[in-house]
Structure 1
């Protein structure tokens, strides 16, 4: 580990695309958390009485109800993918990742699920394969998990800057700046923990080696004097490679993709505003208002003397309004505009949520039931991108542990998002096609798996059929004695 002096405050510089998309990410985050109060209008701003205006605003904010269909849609998207475990093909040396992928005890499948949730939400993230500075781990150290590479996920907000360099005919990522949290203790007080910012710069030095630099700032934003340089040991075959991959909703390049849930989040914000408006309207306009018409020659002072306890509702009290006086309760008629706006947004939310899951082309309901694979959906694209990112990360881990570059490694998320129910008529049609020689039995086995009837592989089914005893109806009963010639032994 090397240290170098320098302030490095410029490391906080944000990429221009980051600055453009950050407000949109924040909007999605707020919608998912249900923290939407900041998006309400200030109804008490123009009130002449400041205290009354603040009280009215507080009541207005308290009346709004968050119907969080953004969060429910996200849960449905992730649940559809993770209803079946991913297909993982890794060498034995990488099996420690199944229980501890990031070094903090999070297993590989849970790690991938968290990543999938992020990409489904904001459409961007990244994976960094981090390796120790020392050489290849020994078997004992590897079994103990002390010097093994780990996989770290970074949210889109924490990938603050990056640079692409043209190398031959391709654009290669030559710098990535990642924002992290740094914990430290004040001198003289080991029990008080403070949190500052740490920026991890991944780049290639002038000698073509991959390095990391750590720039630290305390809780007050003051830069620390030392910049830490780290040279992780990736192995010779990965020399000059930054083991970091972007993950996007459209593809896994450095370009920022649109957040899939942004349209739904904006609808959720509008729905919440309508809810607050509807509640305030129902309270303010819906309450009956008493109008009093004092009688002839009844001065305010005389009215006060005639009604020393004021005017109160109820049949147990009488009131003196003077000769010719009267009173009237007035209540506004029903107004469903705000409520109708809420219902309209709920229908729009259903349509947007469906487009995230089902195929984007225009198809009939019957075709949708048959196809149902959602091959062209946003969710399917994200599942493929996350699968590819984890496959790349696992390959880097394998090479860092001394495995050949052509080692077979694969991580594949489930792409069958929905069960396809199979009726008795469907099964009969399948059997007819198989018996006619039009389809192989393996195609029927695949259909059974899609319908959720079984999770057996083709080999499992064939072995079970071969090992099963013949059904009684398939055995031909033979009557009579066995011919003597058939009993002779050769």
Structure 2
């Protein structure tokens, strides 16, 4: 389909893979609801009611183990084993409680970013500001209730994009976002959802200058999506933007390129294990029950026995004709499907571990010469890219509410998810060393106290620690952290 609803070829190619990982993460119900998509029929050409009933029973007995979803939760939990470092100017203090306009803090938003990257390879962050005029002072700004917001967009929401080279820089010049807008029905209770498309453009304003514009497309009465007019956002100083405040966040880098999601291979094996489970459970159902049989008897004896009822067990006697015998036939265990399940289970365990184990990453010549260079894992790369994108969004947000963003330093505005994916825990020897260092005046009692309270070594600059030492030497010890 042409027009604003056009979907990028890479989007169309990857959408089924994203949906597959989503279903695997949601669990058994989502997987079974897709029926033949993940569990094919044994005889797809047979459309009879009997074949349909057979498949329904086959589907019901299958078991899907939610390995992919649990792995996703574990990875995110590992990344947030320690609280992220977050510094912000007072103009962005609302990010602590409401970063996206829906009551989600920047901390929670970053968790969702990491989830999306692991599931889909990428997502996006987009910063916007209410359509209000520039404010003359902070009081006027607060009175307008106008705050910059950071919106997390899933890979499914960004349906089209394009880039342009400006000088020696590649910039996004088109982003099409599919949005769902809910409206209360006429009865006052029901909800009606409508689609609209938000188009972000970088347009040539002439003389080599580019201007960022926004236009929202809604469906007309004729069923055609039409634009509602372009708007030109401006920063705090009233100047238009020369780029789109939007960035992709990826598992490898934050470019517009798409690759396989970190959890895709695990989801593939998880679904293959599910199919083996269906075959195994089917085998158990049909061959797991023992079958009694009688030999050396004729139909006359059988019919007479049926009239009297046939009882089998240790406390009853079953009369048989001369030369007759009774026995139990039981099929030998069919271990083929079971062994296939075990193999895939081991593969899933190895894949889940590989997502957090140390691995090689591209290094510069200087880093390669350093034997202690940090090795990256899939999870750590996702965390690094998330940190970079969030910090970029913070600077864009500041540009809406501050006159000179260029003066901001890492001490003013900074967000970082730790790459230490497990808490070290309290170490008595380290606590003793910190205390002895504090007694000698080389470190602060404040750091020793914080370590004893949290089991984590305080994150602060050398200058901050030196200031604590000086304060304590002057007798102004402060353990409150205020």
Separation in structure 2 between the aligned mates of residue 395 and residue 453 of structure 1, nearest angstrom: 29
Query: Does the alignment pair 1:178 with 2:180?
Result: no
Separation in structure 1 between the aligned mates of residue 83 and residue 172 of structure 2, nearest angstrom: 32
In the TM superposition, residue 106 of structure 1 has moved relative to its aligned partner by 1.0
TM-score w.r.t. the length of structure 1 is 0.77
The residue number in structure 2 matching 1:473 is: none
Q: Contact 2:443–2:466 (CA<8 Å) still a contact in 1?
A: no
| Higher Rg of the two aligned structures | 1
In the TM superposition, residue 319 of structure 1 has moved relative to its aligned partner by 6.6
Number of matched pairs: 439
Aligned counterparts, 1:145-294, within 5 A: 146-184=145-183, 189-205=187-203, 207=205, 208-217=210-219, 223=223, 226-235=226-235, 236-293=238-295
Which sections of structure 2, spanning at least 5 residues, go unmatched? 362-370, 476-482
In the TM superposition, residue 155 of structure 1 has moved relative to its aligned partner by 0.2
The residue number in structure 2 matching 1:384 is: 384
Separation in structure 2 between the aligned mates of residue 71 and residue 372 of structure 1, nearest angstrom: 34
In the TM superposition, residue 257 of structure 1 has moved relative to its aligned partner by 2.8
The residue number in structure 2 matching 1:401 is: 401
Separation in structure 2 between the aligned mates of residue 467 and residue 60 of structure 1, nearest angstrom: 72
In the TM superposition, residue 260 of structure 1 has moved relative to its aligned partner by 0.6
The residue number in structure 2 matching 1:463 is: 468
The residue number in structure 2 matching 1:28 is: 21
Separation in structure 2 between the aligned mates of residue 429 and residue 410 of structure 1, nearest angstrom: 30
Separation in structure 2 between the aligned mates of residue 191 and residue 31 of structure 1, nearest angstrom: 33
Deviations 1:338-384 (CA, angstroms, capped at 9, x unpaired): 2222222222222212221121149xxxxxxxx99974111111111
Separation in structure 1 between the aligned mates of residue 302 and residue 127 of structure 2, nearest angstrom: 84
My pick for the range that moved more, 140-149 or 86-95, is 140-149
In the TM superposition, residue 230 of structure 1 has moved relative to its aligned partner by 4.3
Q: Contact 1:252–1:385 (CA<8 Å) still a contact in 2?
A: yes
Q: Residue 194 of structure 2: SS of its match in structure 1?
A: strand
Separation in structure 2 between the aligned mates of residue 417 and residue 59 of structure 1, nearest angstrom: 43
Deviations 1:189-216 (CA, angstroms, capped at 9, x unpaired): 5543211211111113453432222223
| Residues 238 and 336 of structure 1: CA distance in aligned 2, closer, same or farther (over 3 Å) | farther
Which sections of structure 1, spanning at least 5 residues, go unmatched? 1-7, 363-370, 435-439, 471-490
In the TM superposition, residue 423 of structure 1 has moved relative to its aligned partner by 6.7
Query: Does the alignment pair 1:454 with 2:452?
Result: no
The residue number in structure 2 matching 1:114 is: 112
In the TM superposition, residue 386 of structure 1 has moved relative to its aligned partner by 0.9
Q: Contact 1:304–1:310 (CA<8 Å) still a contact in 2?
A: no
Q: Residue 42 of structure 1: SS of its match in structure 2?
A: coil
Query: Does the alignment pair 1:17 with 2:17?
Result: no
Aligned counterparts, 1:333-372, within 5 A: 333-361=332-360
Q: Contact 1:137–1:147 (CA<8 Å) still a contact in 2?
A: no
Separation in structure 2 between the aligned mates of residue 81 and residue 372 of structure 1, nearest angstrom: 22
Q: Contact 2:219–2:225 (CA<8 Å) still a contact in 1?
A: no
Separation in structure 2 between the aligned mates of residue 261 and residue 216 of structure 1, nearest angstrom: 35
TM-score w.r.t. the length of structure 2 is 0.79
Q: Contact 1:31–1:265 (CA<8 Å) still a contact in 2?
A: yes
In the TM superposition, residue 305 of structure 1 has moved relative to its aligned partner by 5.3
Separation in structure 1 between the aligned mates of residue 135 and residue 316 of structure 2, nearest angstrom: 90
In the TM superposition, residue 417 of structure 1 has moved relative to its aligned partner by 1.5
Q: Residue 276 of structure 1: SS of its match in structure 2?
A: helix
Q: Residue 10 of structure 1: SS of its match in structure 2?
A: coil
The residue number in structure 2 matching 1:62 is: 60
| Residues 318 and 223 of structure 1: CA distance in aligned 2, closer, same or farther (over 3 Å) | farther
Q: Residue 101 of structure 2: SS of its match in structure 1?
A: coil
Deviations 1:107-161 (CA, angstroms, capped at 9, x unpaired): 1111111112111222100011112222224634543572222111100011111
In the TM superposition, residue 57 of structure 1 has moved relative to its aligned partner by 2.3
Separation in structure 1 between the aligned mates of residue 270 and residue 113 of structure 2, nearest angstrom: 23
